[in-house]
Chains A and B, each alone.
Chain A
Amino acid sequence: MDFNGKVLKYGDNVDTDVIIPARYLNTIDKKELASHCMEDIDRDFVKKVSVGDIMVAGENFGCGSSREHAPIAIKESGISLVIAKSFARIFYRNAINIGLAILECPEACDNISEGDTVRADLDNGIIYNLTTNKSFKTSPFPEFIQNIVRAGGLVEAIKKGFIK
């Protein structure tokens, strides 16, 4: 799976409360959730984001609540991939389970700025910063998780018999 997009960059410990504030959790409508994505950390996010954009952040991205509404809102807003130095564990599995692509790569995160154009090869764990001509290598997912991601999420993986 390949991704190519403009970068929107955030810092450490971006929590799920700022990704999608609880006051909007009285709906499961994906478009409505996306319309409030990142509202409490970046009011202009929904105006700035374009389909295919890549989100880059620091340590412990998605910490806090287990709300799957957070990766849903990010995915539905048009973000194609999230690269972080590390992910909070529930966000990490939620992203995999709903088919939002993620990569962990501290070095890349230190060398990518807001507005850069980035290409990423998920299968091989390679990230290219096309703006600065630098590339970074990270570990691709283990096969078990790649199967979930390739199926398009956990529900599809179970339906297709990848997980019994």
Chain B
Amino acid sequence: MAMTMTQKILAAHAGVDSVRKGDLILVDIDRVLGNDITSPVAIAEYSKLGVDGVFDKEKVTMVMDHFAPNKDIKAATQCKMCREFCQKEEIVNFFDVGRMGIEHALLPEKGLVVSGDVVIGADSHTCTYGALGAFSTGVGSTDMACGMATGKAWFKVPSAIKFVLKGKLQKYVSGKDVILHIIGMIGVSGALYKSMEFVGEGVSSLTVFDRLTISNMAIEAGAKNGIFEVDERTIEYIKERSDREIKIYKADEDAEYDEVYEIDLSEIKPTVAFPHLPENTRTIDNVGDVKIDQVVIGSCTNGYFCDLEVAAQILKGKKIKDGVRAIIIPATQDIYLRAIEAGLVKIFIEAGCVVSTPTCGPCLGGHMGILAKGERAVATTNRNFVGRMGDVTSEVYLASPAVAAASALSGKISDPRACE
């Protein structure tokens, strides 16, 4: 039976030769992840299981990133609960303030995910690691609890949609524009319950970070996972960070796909998702006159060094528009340090931006940049639902770091290509 990339990884982890779409299977997991919001619920459920310790002290991973550094007493209490659990269970990969970064940028950076892995995380953007050729998907806290206890998770084997990429992106067009373009095309439930598999000669022109951004937002199309074919770039990225064996799974030539889309990367323009769904996309030449109050550059989608670099390139030697607040959030401590060393932080501060410690913060309306009634933000984050970043009447426009930086300068949604 011909299988997709995703189906092959799932079959290998279920200990069977093949699986078919719709099969309900129990698979071994290589990593189980939680954060300071989802882990407390998982810890409470885990305690009901009455097991003698977690299944693997190295594979259980917790990152304090959502409401950390603690935004209030309740958030502090939740982080304390996670900290005490990890101490008691001797969890190796516990990332607290000082070591932590935004979880989905941190795990690949630390070499904690390699091609061929199965990763579950109690965070919907766990699908990010598909960029490295892993099967990774978001689950809930009860799944996390049971995963910590048993090292297993149940899945319904998904069917898949294939995206054949060709060509190369134009300047100031990035992975963010690609995934917004795709979500605009197929809709927020366009890949519901399915895998999104990215293949084709265009893949090799995308950096690993473009791919991480694309896989990150697979969930925004309803997908179970978003996975890329492994190439030299993937292998080089992983080998710099991990000694673990890389397992490469390619879809069978005759694997069955529900739909196949061909995407010419060279035709994609800077793209913006208007409120209140990621599918409400418009290309930059069709955005009209949208004045903004805030810009956020960061998150698990676009807080990488290359994202800060492109923003700095646009902001260098300029001042952001009076009345606009620009918040820059490097995704990890390593990225933050590199941004300081490369002079990016100086550029941002001189332009009138603030630069924050890593945190998910404003993306989910937690802290560090909440919007008041009627305010608008351009954000490099991944969701623009009602009230996502603050008041229910506030608005979030999703865009790339280049569009966000250009918008900070003009005070309205702007084309970065006009900043040349």
Cβ B154 vs Cβ A144 within 8 A: yes
| Closest-CB distance, B391 to chain A (whole angstroms) | 10
Cβ A89 vs Cβ B67 within 8 A: no
Contacts A40-B392, A90-B124 hold; do A154 and B193 have CB atoms under 8 A apart? no
Cβ B38 vs Cβ A17 within 8 A: no
Interface string of B152-164 (1 = CB under 8 A from A): 1010000000000
Interface string of A118-145 (1 = CB under 8 A from B): 0000000000000000000000001011
| Closest-CB distance, A62 to chain B (whole angstroms) | 10
Name B364's contact: one of A17, A28, A60, A86 (CB within 8 Å). Answer: A17
Interface residues of B in 64-89 (CB under 8 A from A): 66-67, 71-72, 74-75, 77-78
Which of B45-53, B55-63, B237-245 lies at the binding interface?
B45-53
Which of A1-9, A44-52, A91-99, A105-113 lies at the binding interface?
A91-99
Cβ B26 vs Cβ A22 within 8 A: no
Cβ B24 vs Cβ A23 within 8 A: no
Q: Tell me which residues across on chain B come within 8 A of A144, comparing CB atoms.
A: 24, 154
Most buried by B among A15, A142, A163: A15
**Interface assignment of A35: CB less than 8 Å from any CB of chain B:** no
Interface string of A64-99 (1 = CB under 8 A from B): 111111011000000000000010111001100110
**Interface assignment of B9: CB less than 8 Å from any CB of chain A:** no
Q: Which chain A residue shows the least CB distance to B77?
A: A26
Cβ B383 vs Cβ A17 within 8 A: yes
Q: Tell me which residues across on chain A come within 8 A of B369, comparing CB atoms.
A: none
Interface string of A1-43 (1 = CB under 8 A from B): 0000000000001010110011101111000000000001100
Which of B136-144, B265-273, B397-405 lies at the binding interface?
B136-144
| Closest-CB distance, B142 to chain A (whole angstroms) | 4
Cβ B124 vs Cβ A66 within 8 A: yes
- A17–B75 Cα distance when bound, in Å, is 18
Q: Which chain B residue shows the least CB distance to A69?
A: B41
Cβ B124 vs Cβ A163 within 8 A: no
Q: How many residues of A contact B (CB 8 A)?
A: 41
Name B40's contact: one of A13, A23, A28, A88 (CB within 8 Å). Answer: A28
Name B138's contact: one of A66, A98, A159 (CB within 8 Å). Answer: A66
Interface residues of B in 323-364 (CB under 8 A from A): 364
Contacts A40-B392, A41-B386, A88-B222 hold; do A22 and B366 have CB atoms under 8 A apart? yes
A40-B386, A60-B222, A155-B48 are known; give 8 further A-B pairs, CB within 8 A: A17-B364, A17-B385, A21-B387, A65-B383, A67-B37, A93-B140, A93-B143, A159-B49
- A67–B222 Cα distance when bound, in Å, is 15
**Interface assignment of B149: CB less than 8 Å from any CB of chain A:** yes
Name B140's contact: one of A22, A97, A158 (CB within 8 Å). Answer: A97
Name B72's contact: one of A26, A59, A90, A98 (CB within 8 Å). Answer: A26
Cβ A68 vs Cβ B142 within 8 A: yes
Name A158's contact: one of B138, B150, B364, B365 (CB within 8 Å). Answer: B150
Cβ B383 vs Cβ A64 within 8 A: yes
| Closest-CB distance, A44 to chain B (whole angstroms) | 14
Q: Tell me which residues across on chain B come within 8 A of A27, comparing CB atoms.
A: 74, 78
Contacts A68-B38, A93-B140 hold; do A88 and B192 have CB atoms under 8 A apart? yes
Q: Tell me which residues across on chain B come within 8 A of A102, comparing CB atoms.
A: none
Name B188's contact: one of A22, A63, A97 (CB within 8 Å). Answer: A63
Cβ B74 vs Cβ A26 within 8 A: yes
